[in-house]
Every structure is written in C-alpha cells, then in structure tokens.
Structure 1
Amino acid sequence: MIRKRKTSNIEGLSGRRTSAIVTLFRFPLIWMLVGALGIVLTNVIFSRLSEDTNALGDVLLALIGSAAAIVIYWLTMRFLARRLVPELLLQRRAVKEVIFGAVVGLIFIIVSTALIVLFGGYSFEWADVNTSSVVWPVIATQLVAAFIEELIFRGLAFQAIEKMGGSWIALTLTSLFFGAAHLGNPGATAWGALSIVIEAGVLLGAAFLWRRNVWFIVSLHFLWNTIEGLLGIPVSGHPSSGLFTVEVTGPALLTGGNFGLEGSIIPVIISLLIAIPMLISARRKGHLLSPRQDS
C-alpha cells in the first residue's frame, strides 16, 4: 500500500509538471518567442550556406530557406499555440493571394516612385550591368526578407499580441516594433523609423487583418522591396546594385535621402490611403478580434 501511494504521488507530480510545461508554451508570448527564434536560426543557417553559391544557387537556397521558415511557423502554431493555421492554406486561394498581393505592391511602388519623379526627386538612367547578376541576388535577398519578416511580425507577433490585447493593440505594437527594428539600418533616422511604422507596419498589419492570409502580405512586401532594389534605390537604407543608376535631387522628405524610398513622405501618404480602406473592410468582415478571442 505504501509503495502504491508513493507511485501515485510521483505520477501526480509528473502530471503537474507536464501540465505546467504545456501551459507555459501555450502562453502567446512564449510560443511567439520560440517560433521567432526558430525562424531566425533557420535564416542564419541558410545565409551561411549561400555565401559560396552563384546567383541561381542563392535563389534556390532562398526558396528552401523560406519553405523551412514556413514549416517552423506551422509547427509552432499547431503544437505550441495549439491552433489551426488557416493563414497558410496551400490551395487555389494561396495562388490568388500571391497574385493579388503582387499587384497591390506593384501599384504601390510604381505610383510612389512616379510621383517622386514627377516632383523632380528622382531621375533614372540604365546602368551598364549584367542583368542576371543583378536580378537574381535581389530576388533571393528580398524573398527571404519578405518571408522572415512577415512570419515573425505579422504571423507570430501580431497574432500573439492580438490574442492577449485584441487587433488594435496588435496593429499598434507590431507597427512600432517594425519601425524600431529598422533604426539600426544605414541612413536610418527617427523620421525613417516613423515612416516604416506607417507605410510598412500599419499597411502590412492592415493587409493581414483584411485578408487573414500570409501569402498576400509576403507577396506585397516582396514586390515592393524587389522593384525598389531593381530600380537601384536603397531598400530601407541598404544600398542596392540595381538595373538603373539613380540621381537624387530635392529635399530628403521627398526623396527619402540615404534611407531610400521608405523615407519619403509620398509612400507614407499612399500607404495610409491603401491601409484605411483595408481596415474598414476588415471590420466589416468581422476580422478584428477582441482580447482573448480565438483567431
């Protein structure tokens, strides 16, 4: 009888420990951090592997690395957060969302750049470069950046914060965090960070609330950065060897200065004109969640 009682006590303690561990990892901030760490480590590994590859090899590794990041995100959501992952549905909808996001991103950057050119801020001249040596590295770099940043900020962080504080708190905090994350970039200023908060944080957060889909926001993000890089404009302060040489004239508020297009007031205004209708539509669709409401 004494042995049975001891065994029962041990099993009870083990059960409580297991339950405590499960409860810990189901807490939103914990699974957010674990998932983000896994995605970042994956990115570091594949970045090291791509150091000695050619241009096409970079693209291939970018695709594999992005797929690995998606798998880590899915595993985090299914086994730590214990939720379904409808935002990653791999069906016809995913293809449509990728195309739709690409169109929105393309229109966004074309209109923004055209207006700056119209106001005399940019002029472009075709650069005498090997096209493939420019295009493939830009695609590889921006593909990884789009997947990594969106899976972490809009996928993990947004939904973790949303579960605790609701959609508006999640939109506000992830936008601020996204802007702060760019403060260390070359040419970054307080205005540059604020512009990122609005034209990237708010816009992409609104896009996620509207579509509730990762493919749309990744595609939008990717097209913006890729076209910007191919035009030869610095991407959030990072210089890009594009297909054109860019002559920048006029005030930094118009051109973005050394920080690039993201530092211009033009895309900030346009992003708000896009984001506000997205948020209105998201509210009408019932996509805005209150605290502790399951997403």
Structure 2
Amino acid sequence: MKKTKSNNIEKLLRFPITWMLIGGIVLILVQGLLLVLMERVEGAVSLFFTLLLCIAAILLYKIIMKYVAQRPIPELSRQHAWMEAVRGVITGAFFIAVSTLTIVMLGGYSFQWAAAADPASILLRSLETALIAAVFEELLFRGLMLQAIQKLGGRWIALAITSLTFGAFHLGNPGATLWSAFAITLEAGVLLGAAFLWRRNLWFVIGLHFAWNALEGALGIPVSGLPAAGLFTVKTNGSAWLTGGDFGLEGSIVTVILGIVIAIPMLILAARKPPKNKE
C-alpha cells in the first residue's frame, strides 16, 4: 500500500504540468527576493546580489528538473555554454541594432546624448535589469513551460502556447495594448522559442534576451513599456506603428517583421532536427 502511494506521488511529480508549476513558483519567489534587494542596495553590491541570485535560480532549476521531473538537463549543459551565450548575445545585439537603425533611417527615432547621464551607473543598471529578465524569463518560459507542453503536445503546440503566454505576460506593462502584446508574441515569443528549439539550450536564448534588453536600456528606449534612463534621450516622430509609441521598440512593426525574418531560418533548422522529446 505504501509502495503504491509512493509510486503515485512520484508519477504526479514527474507529470510535466506539476514540475512546471513547482519550478515556476520557486523562480517567481527568487525573482521577487532579488527585486526587493535591488531597491535597497546600489552599485557593486547590487550587481553581486544579481549575479548570486541568478546563479541560485539556475541551480534551483537544475534541482527541480533532476529530482522532481527526474529528467536530464541538456539545455544547461556546461559544454560550449560560453560559446552559445556569446552567439546569443551577438544575435540579440544585431536584432536590436538593425531594428533601431531602420527606425532612425525612416525618421522615427532621433537620439541626443543625455548630458546629465552617469555612463557607469546607467550601464550597470541596464546590465543588471537585462540579466534578471533574461535568466528568470527564459528559465520559466522556455526552460519549464515550453518543455513541459512539448512533452504533452509536441514542440509546435508548445511554441504557440508559450508565445501567446509570453505576449499576454507583458499586457500589464506601461503603455501596453493588444497590439503590443501581439507584437511581443511574434517578435519575442516566437523568436526566443525558435532559438531554443534550434539550439536546444538555454544559454543561447538567455544571451539573446540579455543583449536585447541591455542594448535597449542603454540607448534609453523603453524596454517593453518600462522606462529606461539610458545614455541618450530618445525622441519619437511619426506613427506609433513605426516607433512603437509609449511601449517602445517592441511595439514597432519594424521589430516585428525583423523578428519574424530572423525566426524563420531558426524554425526551419529546428524542423530538420528530430524532436527532443517523443511527440
């Protein structure tokens, strides 16, 4: 009787939705602690806590996957981790740089150096904020949610659901609209999901997400509607379809189109690989 009960508990814990929820709750609690600490400390101390709790989040993710889900964790393999992260950073920086330059060339953005800006402080805050978003959101959405749903319904259903959820997740941000949520679904949800399915590791996706947010913040462009005190003062001109309006770069049709263009070859390459989990 005890053995049967133990087996039932083990099966429940190994059920994808169970470990997805447990992992999600743990990550949200750790992220909440980190955000509270960041409000109370500054400079090097803030950076120390950011790095410490991001590492803790990755370790907790591994513990949940190993002991609750009882599955291997190739998505966080140490092999080529730095190389994959750097590739992701280059991809994310390229994406934001090209999107921004295109909007500038079309007359949508103009940049003026913020005379009162403290470059060191601004860059540090941009890097910290970007790292938190990249690590916690990718562990949650691509690490837990996408893989759990993939286990149950296949990778394409998982990509669709996580993309839509990721877009809806940003509806509460300042300046958010139904369009901005749809834009995030396509340019971020699909692109980041495609990157994960292609590379099959979180280091690449974390690097992409990190560079994306860090560059936006450093430039002074709102990050998904959240104001960023950057190195420049950004003035917008023309239609919100071009500039993204109050939501920032991610609300621009330019960014949506470029995100889809980058995602398409990733999806093609992902489709050529056999499914990671049995579908």
| TM-score bracket for the superposition, by shorter chain length | over 0.9
Match among 187, 190, 194 for residue 206 of structure 1: 194
- Corresponding residue number in structure 1 for 2:14: 26
Residue 86 (structure 1) aligned with residue 58 (structure 2): no
Q: Structure 2: how far apart are the matches of 1:120 and 1:50?
A: 37
Residue 120 (structure 1) aligned with residue 120 (structure 2): no
Q: How is 1:99-138 mapped onto 2 (pairs within 5 angstroms)? A: 99-128=86-115, 129-138=117-126
- Corresponding residue number in structure 1 for 2:274: 286
Sequence identity (%): 51
Q: Structure 2: how far apart are the matches of 1:183 and 1:46?
A: 22
Residue 270 (structure 1) aligned with residue 261 (structure 2): no
Q: Structure 2: how far apart are the matches of 1:37 and 1:30?
A: 11
Shift of 1:49: 2.3
- Corresponding residue number in structure 1 for 2:166: 178
Instruction: Find runs of 4+ consecutive structure 1 residues off by over 3 angstroms.
Output: 287-290
* Aligned-partner residue type, residue 18 of structure 2: I
* Aligned-partner residue type, residue 239 of structure 2: P
* Matched residue SS, 2:59: helix
TM-score, structure 1 normalization: 0.92
Q: Is the CA contact 1:282–1:288 (under 8 Å) kept in the aligned structure 2?
A: no
Q: Structure 2: how far apart are the matches of 1:149 and 1:186?
A: 18
Q: Structure 1: how far apart are the matches of 2:180 and 2:276?
A: 28
* Matched residue SS, 1:250: coil
* Aligned-partner residue type, residue 223 of structure 1: A
Q: Is the CA contact 1:209–1:287 (under 8 Å) kept in the aligned structure 2?
A: no
- Corresponding residue number in structure 2 for 1:45: 33
- Corresponding residue number in structure 1 for 2:139: 151
Match among 223, 228, 237 for residue 249 of structure 1: 237
* Aligned-partner residue type, residue 121 of structure 1: G
Shift of 1:285: 2.5
Match among 191, 199, 215 for residue 227 of structure 1: 215
* Matched residue SS, 2:5: helix
TM-score, structure 2 normalization: 0.97
Q: CA RMSD in A?
A: 1.0
Shift of 1:98: 0.8
Shift of 1:135: 1.0
* Structure number with larger C-alpha Rg: 1
* Matched residue SS, 2:111: strand
* Aligned-partner residue type, residue 191 of structure 1: W
Q: How many residue pairs end up in the alignment?
A: 278
Residues 237 and 77 of structure 1: CA distance in aligned 2, closer, same or farther (over 3 Å) = same
* Aligned-partner residue type, residue 149 of structure 2: I
Q: Structure 2: how far apart are the matches of 1:50 and 1:252?
A: 32
- Tell me, which stretches of 5 or more residues in structure 2 are unaligned? none
Shift of 1:172: 0.2
Q: Is the CA contact 1:42–1:69 (under 8 Å) kept in the aligned structure 2?
A: yes
* Matched residue SS, 1:246: strand
* Aligned-partner residue type, residue 113 of structure 2: W
* Aligned-partner residue type, residue 139 of structure 1: L
- Tell me, which stretches of 5 or more residues in structure 1 are unaligned? 1-12
- Corresponding residue number in structure 2 for 1:169: 157
Shift of 1:50: 2.5
Q: Structure 1: how far apart are the matches of 2:98 and 2:274?
A: 30
Residue 140 (structure 1) aligned with residue 125 (structure 2): no
* Aligned-partner residue type, residue 113 of structure 1: T
| Residues 101-139 of structure 1: CA deviation (Å, up to 9, x unaligned) | 011111101100000000000000111211112111111
Q: Is the CA contact 1:165–1:290 (under 8 Å) kept in the aligned structure 2?
A: no
Q: Structure 1: how far apart are the matches of 2:160 and 2:106?
A: 32
* Matched residue SS, 1:238: coil
